[in-house]
Structure 1
Amino acid sequence: MLRDFSGQSFFMGVLTAVVGFVSSFAVVLHGLSAMGASEAEQASALLIVCVSQSVLAVFFSLRTRMPVMMAWSTPGAALLAATGSIEGGFPAAIGAFVLCGLLIAITGLFRPLGTAIRRIPAPLASAMLAGILVGLCLAPVKAVAFDPRLGLPIVLTFMAVSAWRRLWAVPAALAAFVLVLLLGGELPADALARLEGAIHPDLVFVMPDFTLSGFVSVALPLFIVTMASQNIPGIAILKAHGYEPPAGPLFAATGLFSAISAFFGALPTNLAAITAAMCAGEDAHPDPARRYWAAVIGGGAYIFLGLLAGGIIAFVAMSPPILLQAVAGLALIGALSNAVHAAFHERETREAAAITFVVTASGISFAGISGAFWGLLAGGLMLGLSNFVQTLKK
């Protein structure tokens, strides 16, 4: 096993972890903050989810000899940010995270549930995701309007680097955010002391509150988004590179770890998609049988990044919230464009997808249930009626 290790795999593994963390942690912080998590709870969540990703990636990659990379649910975090605080506050959100993890685990153990998830029309699931993302992707524009001196450098950096190499665009925007805050922001006099005091996060236990509104508003949409946008594509990417991953055990393990880590504030852990492609490609190693080491190294690197979560959050807290939201919005631009294309590509489902998108994007909750659920329900009803009418015509 050790003879399969190479410097190329080591470099790609570290790069994968850094890109995965840097490109989307702003979205995670925005989502947790919207749910009512304190700075300490956000740091705890980042630490424990990094540990979960690390343990699962290392274990499954070594066991299967495949580059099985893990990630947090970035679309799920976007859903949390769009949903905002729910009745019962953060404990109710934690209860929803636990239930979501259990649903993912059951999907891995109970094949009919996985089949049911795959039968959700892909255009509607994509339209729901696009409706969740569109409001968040407006944050860069709002940041420029808030203060062009602070917001414009972040946006222009993203655009310039994206035109050159898309993979580095978000890390570059984050670097611009740091420079803007250091050079143009007003840091408090005790900034360095605050960073030193918060550099290592502590785990914060949160007693979950299981509520019906939390289950319907957060757990169910989070489950659907995580499965449709992360777990199923993650399996597909590995298969596209010639691997045959054990889907059932992977879903069961990620769901169980998600349910446990939720008690410390973490949102679900799932199969990676983009970073999985990095570990499974030729850049990780010319020999496909040796690429699993990239995922092993990447998984291990996540622990180091998680240990820095407290200092990262303390630094971010010194900036105007709209600036971090701008970075998060830029990180989601690619996901939004892909979701919009998938939602409206098929002519037969375009109207139903539009209804799903509009209802979800409205952000309006009814009976304590978020717009994401109602959007999917409304779009499903429209699609069912359209299919029924077409059947009558025949």
Structure 2
Amino acid sequence: MAVKPNKRPFMEGLKEIPRHLTIKTVSAGTLAAVFGCTGPALIIIGGAQNGSLTNVQTASWLFSVYFFGAVLGIFLSVKYRQPIAGAWSIPGAVLVAAALKNYPFSEAVGAFFVAGIIVFILGISGLIGKVMEWIPVPIVMGMIAGAMIKFGVGIVTSLESAPIIAGSALAAYLLSSRMTAKIPPILSALLASSLIAALVGQFQTKELSIGGVVPQLAGPSFSLDAIISISIPLALLVIGAENAQATGVLMAQGYRPPVNEMTVISGVGGMVASLFGGHNANIAGPMTAICASDEAGDKKESRYAAVFVNGILFGLFGLSAGIAVSFVAAMPEALIGTVAGLAMIGVLVNTFQAAFQDRRFQVGTFFALVIAMSGVNFLKISSPFWALVGGVIVSYILEKNDFNASKSGRGEESGDALEAVG
């Protein structure tokens, strides 16, 4: 039986949280937060370092995506009594990290704001379905996989450059995955490799600062190149990856998620987060999956409390972003590369499956994959945009019948999910 959105007042739902807090809801919310605050955070910080951002800019970016993502998730979950978690787009952070090599941070911030506007407009207009008919999910997923594959490769290159540190992270990850489900393997990898790095003198303790840095407002500037390279792919990632995944997970668990509201508030979250340099704050697919699972409790109407726990922890992490940036700055590069890569394993596997599990758009998806992997930069526009363009053109030339099948509603579950998103 489907769980419909409950539209009772927000404060009433907030008052009911204590009676829905159980060992399972608390543990699921904590697990989702631990996952989100370890490896994925390293992706943002690593991208900021590659883009030569200051510690203040990095802390502001980290603060905005975690804090406003937490607010978004708590608001939606409490209002609708469904485990709708908020955070930020991991693939989006990967896309932005690559783009920061080509654009000033101020132009990237302007592009973040525009991406939020695009998501917001698509949400209130109901045009999402039309857009996704012409940019199919497999092609979007192929682009994501191509942009993110470097993190998987980073595990191998880190093993070559720093075998002891990277090897300890990999060993801890594998052993933890094999021996216990109670401790997130990525946390084991981070702790083990940090200990080894400290023992061999690779931890730069002079970079540590207990006080951290205070997040600040970011000044945006706008350029057409940055909007094309960042805003369009980022908006499609939020809609076609994060929101679609969360919607599919909730529907599979018997919920009827408020799809339009989820999209609109993801657009608002993107605009607000951009004020502090965050690339977005939106519905989080992986965290929603954890909080909506059976591990979050037998009573489906109580699982939204797991998102409340997750949101509180995310918010606290966001408020301490300056300390987190200081801590990561002290880590050796190989440690960051290995742990970030390990954190992306599940995301990469799921992305490749979503890209190639169906028979449709296979050639276009392949082209989207390799174009994104190439890192090409035509006309000052980065590869994720060209991956989408190239994938769609190739599919339209060679796989036109797949577009017709998609429009007529035939096909796989992802097509059904996108129809729901529209």
TM-score when normalising by structure 1:
0.91
- What SS does structure 2 have at the residue aligned with 1:286? coil
Distance 1:84 1:372 in 2: 13
Distance 1:328 1:27 in 2: 6
- What SS does structure 2 have at the residue aligned with 1:197? coil
Choose which of 210, 226, 235 in structure 2 pairs with 1:196. Answer: 210
Residue type of the alignment partner of 1:257: G
Distance 1:131 1:120 in 2: 16
- What SS does structure 2 have at the residue aligned with 1:37? coil
Distance 2:218 2:18 in 1: 43
Residue type of the alignment partner of 1:247: V
- Whether contact under 8 Å (1:185, 1:319) holds in the other structure is no
Alignment partner, residue 176 of structure 2: 161
Choose which of 82, 91, 102 in structure 2 pairs with 1:86. Answer: 102
- What SS does structure 1 have at the residue aligned with 2:240? helix
Residue type of the alignment partner of 1:75: P
Asked if residue 262 in structure 1 is aligned to residue 274 in structure 2, the reply is yes
Instruction: Rate the CA distance shift 1:163–1:189 in 2: closer, same or farther, 3 A.
Output: closer
Deviations 1:351-378 (A, max 9, x none): 2222111111000110000111111211
Instruction: Rate the CA distance shift 1:11–1:355 in 2: closer, same or farther, 3 A.
Output: closer
Residue type of the alignment partner of 2:135: I
Number of residue pairs aligned between Structure 1 and Structure 2:
386
Shift of 1:389: 9.3
Shift of 1:383: 0.9
- Whether contact under 8 Å (1:94, 1:208) holds in the other structure is yes
Instruction: Rate the CA distance shift 1:232–1:337 in 2: closer, same or farther, 3 A.
Output: same
Asked if residue 327 in structure 1 is aligned to residue 343 in structure 2, the reply is no
Distance 1:57 1:25 in 2: 18
Q: Which stretches of structure 1, 4 residues or more, deviate above 6 A after TM superposition?
A: none
Distance 2:72 2:224 in 1: 30
Instruction: Rate the CA distance shift 1:383–1:44 in 2: closer, same or farther, 3 A.
Output: same
Distance 2:99 2:17 in 1: 46
- Whether contact under 8 Å (1:241, 1:280) holds in the other structure is yes
Asked if residue 133 in structure 1 is aligned to residue 148 in structure 2, the reply is yes
- Structure 2 stretches lacking a partner, 5+ long: 1-15, 404-422
Asked if residue 123 in structure 1 is aligned to residue 135 in structure 2, the reply is no
- Structure 1 stretches lacking a partner, 5+ long: none
Deviations 1:176-215 (A, max 9, x none): 2321232123345645xx42231xx412111111111111
Note the 1:220-369 alignment, pairs <5 A: 220-369=232-381
Instruction: Rate the CA distance shift 1:35–1:232 in 2: closer, same or farther, 3 A.
Output: farther
Instruction: Rate the CA distance shift 1:384–1:51 in 2: closer, same or farther, 3 A.
Output: same
- Whether contact under 8 Å (2:194, 2:335) holds in the other structure is no
Distance 2:17 2:142 in 1: 45
- Whether contact under 8 Å (1:108, 1:249) holds in the other structure is yes
Distance 2:319 2:77 in 1: 22
- What SS does structure 2 have at the residue aligned with 1:186? coil
Shift of 1:15: 2.8
Shift of 1:310: 1.4
Residue type of the alignment partner of 1:137: G
Instruction: Rate the CA distance shift 1:378–1:276 in 2: closer, same or farther, 3 A.
Output: same
Distance 2:254 2:400 in 1: 40
The two structures, once aligned, show a CA RMSD in angstroms of 2.3
Alignment partner, residue 143 of structure 1: 158
Alignment partner, residue 178 of structure 1: 194
Choose which of 79, 88, 91 in structure 2 pairs with 1:63. Answer: 79
Shift of 1:131: 0.7
Higher mean C-alpha deviation, range 335-344 or range 67-76 = 335-344
Distance 2:248 2:120 in 1: 19
Shift of 1:118: 5.4
